[in-house]
Structure 1
Amino acid sequence: MKRILFIAPESFPVMSSESICNSKVAYVLASAGYKVDVYTCDDRDTYPEDNLIDAYLRNHKNLRIFPVRNSKVLISRSNGFKSNFKNLIFNLGILLKTGFWYNGISIPYSIYKSIEDNIRKEGDFDYDFMITRATYCDLAAILLKRKYNIIWNANWNDPFPDKKFPEPYGRGYNTKLPFFENRIFKAIQKMVDIHTFPSERLRKYQLKCFPLVKTDKTMVIPHMAHSELLPIIQKPKLDSSVLQLVHCGSVGKPRDPGLFLEALSRVLIKRTFDRGQIHCSFVGRYDENLDQIINHFGLEDVVSLIPPMSYSDSLSYISQCDVSLIIEAQCEEGIYLPTKFVDAMQTHKPVFCVSPSNGTLRDMVSLYNVGYYSDNTSVISIEKVIEQMLLDFKNNNLPTVDNNVASDFFEDSIIDKFRSII
């Protein structure tokens, strides 16, 4: 039985979109017969802590979870000028030992020390494969690769590093990096055996950032929906006579819901459809002025704002609605595969993607016929799609989503992809 070293600072507990993706992958690898050791130091709170799904995904005989030090402590020690100056000796020690330095480097270094401590306790480095997921794994993986020459799969759910994110999130792939960051950036390109990405567009974008990496050293493995979770979270529909839309996750700049709300108000002003036929809930954090925007468009009776829920509760809420709404930032190209898309597949709900006209979500809707797409720069485009959804709902003709339609996102397909590289 092969053993996998799984380094994912955000995995357990399940409290963020990154931890959702990573914890499910760790669980499905364990379910497939691999021995998986997870190193995590997550304490982010995008969602309230999820005791239900977190407990379910932890509970596998092939899965061991090793918490490293609290990530907030690590970040405060090393992130930003003040903390770097305050802890200059500690950070210089890491630089002298490893040759690398960047803001936040104490996180992967602490992960590395924790792994080495456990190796010494157990007497041997007995791993066949190493998977890293997210930014703060790099130094730990580089040091382990150097020492043990283990096969290394680096997964990138976002572009790396964040300075090279596309606008409006970052400064683009041509952004130059500081000297020490560039050293670790080049080392990753030279040392990783296989890079994986959740979408084809993200892969192509990152290859622009990674000039030393060849396409044949990359693979697309999308975020995963897990069929075992559906019975845990599924609940009856809220109201069969109303088209229920739900957006789970933060909204606000740059993911601005303003155009969507304007389009919704335009549909209702026409009176082709009754106001009582549609309702939209925003679940999660939002900008303070969202209330004012809703009031401005006279949508107080049609749009609800709901505080953040745990991941399992948000999935349950999606299961009670008809369509999962996804609002993306306006940008030249949508390279991301949001976890919200896979959450909709997992709950067997179609999506309504208010997204860039050139982007991953438009690709997914077109390829799998799992919902609706509108251009997120055009209020008229959004308006037309809302009207089409209302008409389809009235005629009981919303798109059908299940494990067969979206099989590429479920565990059997995902584990087959991992088997091909492990």
Structure 2
Amino acid sequence: MKNLLIVVECINKNKSSEGIATVNFLNAIDTNQFNVDCVFYEFPQFEISNPDWINPKIKLYQLKNNKLDFIFSKYSKIKNFFAKYFGISILKEYRIFRLKKYLNSKFENREFDLIFSRTIATSICSHRALISSTLSIKNNLLIYFNDPAPFCLMPYPYSTGSTFNPKFDQKEIKHVKFIISKSTAIASPSYLLNEFFLKLNGDYFKPAFTFPHLFFEDLVKKNFQPSVKYDRSKINITHCGSLLSGRDPSTLIEAIEEFVKMYPDFKTKISLNFFGPINNLHKKILNTNYYEFLNVVDKRFSHAESLALMRNSDLPLLIESSYEDSPFMPVKLAELIGLGKVFLVLSPKKSETRRVLGENYSFQTESNNKSEILAKIKDFVEDTYEKEILQNRIYTLQEYVSPESVNISLNKVINQFS
């Protein structure tokens, strides 16, 4: 049995996409091959007491939030003071201090075949704590990034390249470079994201591994009834999940508006559904009083509900930014591939999504390309698209997002550094 220590910052699958990704990763590990210890330290807003969706053969260690975690998270005056005068996030620094201390005390005399550290978004707290702990001296460290980090290096429109505090930005960039340099190897769900971090650190010889997001068929409950139901007299085109500021649906709406003007018979036969939290930037365009075909439910759905809604939709949507670069692999991409449904992708040409799907997957275009979106909606509604070719491509990719891929990759990493 090979010994793994996994350090994570979110296993709350109902509060964040990284929570979903981490839970899937943990549950994919073959506990007949690996003895797994997992430390989790949730951010206060994701705090959870009973994560009963994790394989019980994985030994969980929870570092619970204390009063200071909640104080540093809640009070803006305290956060702003430390950011302005010291160029730090007091909540992050406190979490790093606590997690480092916990790792040193709990695992001081343990050795592992591999320590795998996962962060959430641009936090990097778990990485910094692990790199500075005594565990980093005698263990191989695989550092996993889910997103570009720090936040100032997120692609536009999520970031403009800086925050209100340049001192903080520069410190965070130095931290990321230091983490990469001290790691045995890096990993991410995306080939393009690995390229991003290797370029940032200027070390193209650093080993990098891709652990794509996963899909578990068992999570799709066959008879599960979500809290909202589709109007089955209509063609349902559906986006599930958070509609973040960078995911602009306006061109899609304009394309469907033009389609129903061209084909008035479809005015009451198409429903464009948005199920999930809506960023304030998009609430005006998503006003259902303006568009008869719009159906918007602005609330957070459970993971099970989102999967059921995607499965039951006629045409699910995957919307990314309308700008040039998107190195992320969305969790939703793995889920849509796993569900085996044809879906419409609105994503930049240079994106991990389009790299994975390949050029022959014709149901993809940029989210601001109105004529292409209109053409693809028309093809779908009239059933004139290359259904068999698209379906076969999705089936081919299901192995890529299968749980078995995790164990193959873990063994590959361990064998390379043993």
Q: Which TM-score band applies after superposition, normalised by the shorter structure?
A: 0.7 to 0.9
Q: Which one of 166, 183, 193 corresponds to residue 192 of structure 1?
A: 183
Q: CA deviation at 1:284?
A: 1.0
Q: CA deviation at 1:269?
A: 0.8
2:224 and 2:61 map into 1 onto residues whose CA distance is 31
Which amino acid is the alignment partner of residue 222 of structure 1? P
Q: Which moved more, 1:396-405 or 1:324-333?
A: 396-405
Determine the structure 1 residue equivalent to 2:212. 222
Residues 1:226 and 1:367: Cα distance change in structure 2 (over 3 Å): farther
Q: CA RMSD in A?
A: 3.7
Q: Is the 8 A contact 1:24 1:224 kept in 2?
A: yes
For structure 1, list consecutive stretches of 5 or more residues without a partner in the other structure.
93-99
Q: Is the 8 A contact 2:259 2:378 kept in 1?
A: yes
Q: Which moved more, 1:27-36 or 1:196-205?
A: 27-36
Aligned residues: 402
Partner SS, residue 195 of structure 1:
strand
2:388 and 2:194 map into 1 onto residues whose CA distance is 35
For structure 2, list consecutive stretches of 5 or more residues without a partner in the other structure.
none
Q: CA deviation at 1:307?
A: 2.3
Q: CA deviation at 1:20?
A: 0.7
Determine the structure 2 residue equivalent to 1:159. 148
Pair 1:67 & 2:62 matched? yes
Q: Which one of 119, 122, 127 corresponds to residue 112 of structure 2?
A: 127
Q: How does 1:395-406 map to 2 (within 5 A)?
A: 399-400=390-391, 404-406=396-398
Determine the structure 1 residue equivalent to 2:106. 118
- TM-score, normalised with respect to structure 2: 0.82
Pair 1:169 & 2:158 matched? yes
Q: Which one of 383, 408, 414 corresponds to residue 400 of structure 2?
A: 408
Q: CA deviation at 1:257?
A: 1.1
Pair 1:55 & 2:52 matched? yes
Which amino acid is the alignment partner of residue 410 of structure 2? F
Determine the structure 2 residue equivalent to 1:419. 411
Q: Is the 8 A contact 1:326 1:341 kept in 2?
A: yes
Partner SS, residue 355 of structure 2:
helix
1:233 and 1:37 map into 2 onto residues whose CA distance is 34
- TM-score, normalised with respect to structure 1: 0.82
Q: How does 1:239-318 map to 2 (within 5 A)?
A: 242-271=234-263, 274-288=266-280, 290=282, 292-295=284-287, 298-318=290-310
Q: Which one of 313, 321, 325 corresponds to residue 313 of structure 2?
A: 321
Pair 1:109 & 2:97 matched? yes
Q: Is the 8 A contact 2:334 2:401 kept in 1?
A: yes
Q: Is the 8 A contact 1:234 1:319 kept in 2?
A: no
Give the fraction of aligned pairs with identical amino acids, expressed as a percent: 20
2:49 and 2:311 map into 1 onto residues whose CA distance is 17
Residue-by-residue CA offset, 1:68-119 (whole Å, 9 max, x unaligned): 132895274379984258889xxx9xxxxxxx96541211221222223323
1:232 and 1:276 map into 2 onto residues whose CA distance is 29
Residue-by-residue CA offset, 1:122-158 (whole Å, 9 max, x unaligned): xx31422111111221222112356542100011111
Q: Is the 8 A contact 2:234 2:271 kept in 1?
A: yes
Determine the structure 2 residue equivalent to 1:95. none
Partner SS, residue 143 of structure 2:
strand
Residues 1:341 and 1:352: Cα distance change in structure 2 (over 3 Å): same
1:382 and 1:264 map into 2 onto residues whose CA distance is 8
Residue-by-residue CA offset, 1:191-246 (whole Å, 9 max, x unaligned): 111111212222222222121x3245112221111233235687799566643222
Determine the structure 1 residue equivalent to 2:125. 136
Residues 1:86 and 1:256: Cα distance change in structure 2 (over 3 Å): closer
Partner SS, residue 195 of structure 2:
helix
Residues 1:323 and 1:85: Cα distance change in structure 2 (over 3 Å): closer
Q: CA deviation at 1:365?
A: 3.1
1:32 and 1:256 map into 2 onto residues whose CA distance is 45
